[in-house]
Amino acid sequence: MMNLLHWRLLVAVADAGNMSRGAERVGITQSGASQAIAQLEASLGFKVFTRERRHIGITALGEQVVEQARAMVERLDAIRALADDSRGLNGGRIRLASFPSVISTLLPGLLRDFQRRHPGIALVALEGTDEEVEAWLDAGTVELGVVLNPAPGRAAAILGRDAWVAVLPSSHPLGRRASGNGVTLGEMAAQPFILATGGCAVHGQRLVEHAGLRLPDIRVTVRDWASACVLVREGMGVALVPESTLPEDRRGLRVMQLTPPVHREFGLVCSEAAKTSRPVQAFLTGLLPAQ
């Protein structure tokens, strides 16, 4: 069944000429976008796009479909703007805080989609550590904040979840195991270690300490996940990073799952003072279809 997401995605992919960039514009994964486009084309009974090596073209019928879809989306956005105005949403403001790895990956698509649907609401994104985000929420400095591993029972819209993984030089003895075999925190802790924090209080050292272990040989401490992977590639040590932060170019690296697995979750939390805010409720309501 075709829905509004299909049509927005259709226009985004046509404008970008690329599936991954089109998917990013509407806030979904490339695999999800490919599946949605395939469903739409199956429903229509003809191809909208032609797949080339590095570019997506549009068929003759596809051009007509995209033109109609663009008009439909623009008219719906105009209707939503009228609705926002009638509800007193225009002129509102939302301050949303997050730690670096989420503000650069998960949030851009969500923020773009919300601004497209509610152009009259000013949306400001602030970057801080996970501890700073919690403090800003408590003080009411921000209306919304992305928190790490929200406590059970805390009202939070879960935005995502990923696994912690071990990153080793490709020639490391631990990396010579079969691909299905993981590595334990104890084995990682015994190695020369590159500690990456990602601007968060929950990082490799905390994971190790939570398991009752310690890191006796921290060679370098960096904030950026990518920097840690560069140092690992140079053979300076091993690192623990969230899977979603891994670089696209993994030459010289061996990425292994942890045994047992360790995960982290990102939850969007509303400050106490903002719970009655109409713009904030509009933002949270817009997240529901994506969860």
Which pair of structure tokens corresponds to residue 68? 């109609």
Can you read off the two tokens belonging to residue 188? Answer: 């990682």
> Does 289 have pLDDT greater than 60?
no
Report, in this order, helix, strand and coil percent for the chain, each rounded to 5: 45, 20, 30
Same domain, 201 and 220: yes
Residue located via tokens 């904040």: 145
Number of domains in the chain: 3
Q: Are residues 165 and 259 in the same domain?
A: yes
Range of the domain at 19: 4-86
Q: Which two tokens stand for residue 47?
A: 């191809």
Size of the chain, expressed as the number of residues it contains: 291
Lowest pLDDT segment from 4-8, 56-60, 135-139, 240-244? 4-8
* One domain, residues 153 and 182: no
Runs of H (alpha helix) within 200-276? 204-210, 225-233
pLDDT of 1 strictly over 70: no
Co-location of 34 and 152 in the same domain: no
Q: Are residues 180 and 130 in the same domain?
A: no
pLDDT, average across residues 39-60:
87
Query: Which stretches of 143-272 are assigned E, i.e. beta strand?
Result: 144-148, 157-169, 193-196, 218-222, 239-242, 253-257, 263-270
Q: What is the pLDDT of residues 203-233, one digit of tens each?
A: 999 999 999 999 999 999 999 999 999 999 9
CB 10 within 8 A of CB 39: no
Q: What is the pLDDT of residue 112?
A: 80
The answer to whether residues 233 and 181 belong to one domain is yes
Alpha-carbon distance of 32 to 43, in angstroms, equals 17
Calpha distance 213→262 (Å, rounded): 15
Residues 6+ apart with CB under 8 A from 284: 157, 268, 270
Residue-wise pLDDT tens digits, 64-91: 999 999 999 888 877 777 776 666 566 6
Please indicate, yes or no, whether residues 151 and 284 belong to a single structural domain of this protein. yes
pLDDT digits (tens, 9 = 90+) for 115-153: 777 778 888 889 888 889 999 999 999 999 999 888 888
Instruction: Quote the pTM value.
Output: 0.65
Assign residue 110 the CATH number of its domain. 3.40.190.10
Q: Which residue has the tokens 């927005």?
A: 8
Predicted local distance difference test score (pLDDT) of residue 29? 75
Stretch 84-112: mean pLDDT, rounded?
76
Structure tokens at 275: 């719970």
SS3 label, residue 43? helix
Q: Are residues 130 and 185 in the same domain?
A: no
Q: What is the mean pLDDT of residues 61-66?
A: 93
- For residue 43, give the nearest of 51, 35, 53 by alpha carbon: 35
User: What is the overall mean pLDDT for the chain?
Assistant: 86
Same domain, yes or no: 154 and 220: no
- Give pairs for 35-44: CB < 8 Å, separation 24+: 36/5, 36/6, 36/9, 37/6, 37/9, 37/10, 37/13, 39/2, 39/6, 40/2, 40/6, 40/10, 43/1, 43/2
- What amino acid occupies position 94? I
pLDDT band at 291 (very low <50, low <70, confident <90, very high): very low
- The CATH number of the domain holding residue 48 is 1.10.10.10
Q: Which residue in this structure is represented by tokens 């969007």?
A: 268
Same domain, 185 and 252: yes
d(CA 225, CA 240): 9
Q: At what angle do helices 107-117 and 278-287 cross, to 10 degrees?
A: 120
Mean pLDDT in residue range 148-173: 89
> What confidence tens digit (pLDDT) does each residue in 245-263 have?
899 899 999 999 999 999 9
The position carrying tokens 């602030």 is 126
